[in-house]
Amino acid sequence: MKAICWQGKHHVSVQKVPDPYILNPRDAIVQVTTSGISGSDLHLYDGYISHMKKGDILGHEAMGEVIDIGPQVQKVRVGDRVVIPFNIACGQCLYCKNQEYAFCDNTNPNATLADKMFGHTSAGLFGYSHTHGGYAGGQAEFLRVPLVDVNSIVIPSGLADEKVLFLSDILPTGYMAVENGQVRPGDTVAIWGAGPVGQMALRAAYLFGAERVIVIDHFKNRLKMAARGGAHIIHYEEMASLLDELSFLTGGRGPDVCIDAVGLEAHSQSLFASIDRARAAVGFPSDHLEVLRQAIQACKKGGIVSIPGIYSGAYDRVPMGTAFSKGLTLRMGPTHTQKYMPTLLKKIVKGEIDPSTFITHRMKLDEGVEAYKLFSENKEECMKVILTIH
């Protein structure tokens, strides 16, 4: 089969690889019809994530038709049309039973490596580094899905792939970010980052009853899309001080909930950011923590900073003093995708959300190299790329 494989920093290849087959009794093989490229794939492309090997198959936003199931699969059947969540959960450990699927204990074959890096292992992920299991990903013609009864959702007929593909990652991520923020009716929510997660969080915030949502970014087209979703948009390069503007907009209080939907590739104009760039230029790993600092600085007293992420590594110069004085809550973490998929599918079926509006580019698997390049270099034009495969 054909697949997109990681080959190094800013280097992916489209190549012929062996077809996958059933390895464990609860596996299934899915013929992938559509696959997405995620902002977090760009972290792999940009070389930020450790423990990648040349030849790793990328992709964690996949959907398609089940063509083969292992002998102990009970719910999913051959022929089912499914969306696959980006994390792999077992459904049996205490975390899974608590619906904290991203923390699953049992799906990382490299659990001891993750134990050493993070203290405790988390769930295996598709197409995302050997720390998280090194599972082959879904930017390919076929995908092996472990424990498929837990790690799939069946899609009713009548819904195009585009409408449901994002149940795999960004829809639940944006939604969980808002849920983590405990957004209540009447709240003001500030979202840093107008990428797909930020766009979804914006719409989810209104679903949760927010009165006003502010979206901050520096890509004009992304801000326009946020404005279409009802946000008050801020282009942070067009003002002297973002923090002053947020204070003005919230009557000096600060937003009730601040969502950092940018994560580790933040860049900005501040003094700290300039230090980051200087450090990067001389080979020191730079912090990219500017968005989190701003969120902590801006958030109201007693407010919540919700971080869908992604962050990786260890950082210094986090304003803990500010966070402490204001009694902030920082809630963060990888998305418990399986928990939210059923609820969000219902909302899509009812027409309450249409995530296909975020798609800017529809390309083919063969165009994988161009797709990554485009997404990485042209965020002004490119919001979300999907690859149609079968």
| Residue 14 binds another protein, judged by CB under 8 A | yes
| Residue 350 binds another protein, judged by CB under 8 A | no
Binder of another protein out of 147, 167, 225, 295 (CB under 8 A): 147
H or E stretch including 114?
helix 111-118
| Residue 329 binds another protein, judged by CB under 8 A | no
Cβ contacts of residue 255 below 8 Å, gap of 6+? 188, 189, 190, 214, 246, 298, 299, 300, 303
| Residue 54 binds another protein, judged by CB under 8 A | yes
C-alpha distances (whole Å) from 275 to each of 43, 145, 289, 318 are 21, 43, 11, 14
Binder of another protein out of 83, 140, 190, 200 (CB under 8 A): 140
| Residue 20 binds another protein, judged by CB under 8 A | yes
Minimum Å gap between C-beta 332 and another protein is 24
Minimum Å gap between C-beta 6 and another protein is 8
Rounded to the nearest 10°, the torsion over CA 38, 41, 43, 45 is -130
CA distance 183 to 203: 12
- Choose between 244 and 366: whose C-beta lies nearer to another protein: 366
Stretch that binds another protein, among 87-95, 250-258, 274-282, 326-334 (CB under 8 A): 87-95
Beta pairing partners, 69: 28
- Choose between 7 and 247: whose C-beta lies nearer to another protein: 7
Q: Are 58 and 12 in contact (CB under 8 A)?
A: yes
- Choose between 142 and 175: whose C-beta lies nearer to another protein: 142
| Residue 57 binds another protein, judged by CB under 8 A | yes
CA distance 85 to 87: 6
Stretch that binds another protein, among 135-143, 208-216, 261-269, 312-320 (CB under 8 A): 135-143
Minimum Å gap between C-beta 364 and another protein is 11
Tokens linked to 274: 């300039």
Q: Which of 18, 23, 17, 20 is nearest to 4 (CA)?
A: 17
| Residue 24 binds another protein, judged by CB under 8 A | yes
Q: Is 39 helix (H, G, I), strand (E, B) or coil?
A: helix
Minimum Å gap between C-beta 5 and another protein is 3
| Residue 273 binds another protein, judged by CB under 8 A | no
CA distance 19 to 30: 11
CA distance 319 to 298: 12
Minimum Å gap between C-beta 72 and another protein is 7
Stretch that binds another protein, among 23-31, 176-184, 252-260, 379-387 (CB under 8 A): 23-31
- Choose between 121 and 152: whose C-beta lies nearer to another protein: 121
The backbone torsions φ and ψ at residue 52, rounded to the nearest 5 degrees and listed phi first, read -95, 150
Tokens linked to 372: 């990554």
Binders of another protein among residues 88 to 127 (CB under 8 A) are: 88, 90-94, 97, 105-109, 111-112, 115, 121, 124
C-alpha distances (whole Å) from 277 to each of 4, 75, 236, 335, 379 are 31, 51, 18, 30, 20
Minimum Å gap between C-beta 30 and another protein is 13
CA distance 127 to 52: 10
Q: Total binding residues for another protein by CB under 8 A? A: 52
Task: Check residue 155 and report its DSSP letter.
Answer: P
Binder of another protein out of 11, 21, 244, 352 (CB under 8 A): 21
Which positions touch another protein (CB under 8 A)?
A: 1-3, 5, 7, 13-21, 23-26, 53-57, 72, 88, 90-94, 97, 105-109, 111-112, 115, 121, 124, 133-136, 140, 144, 146-147, 366, 368-369
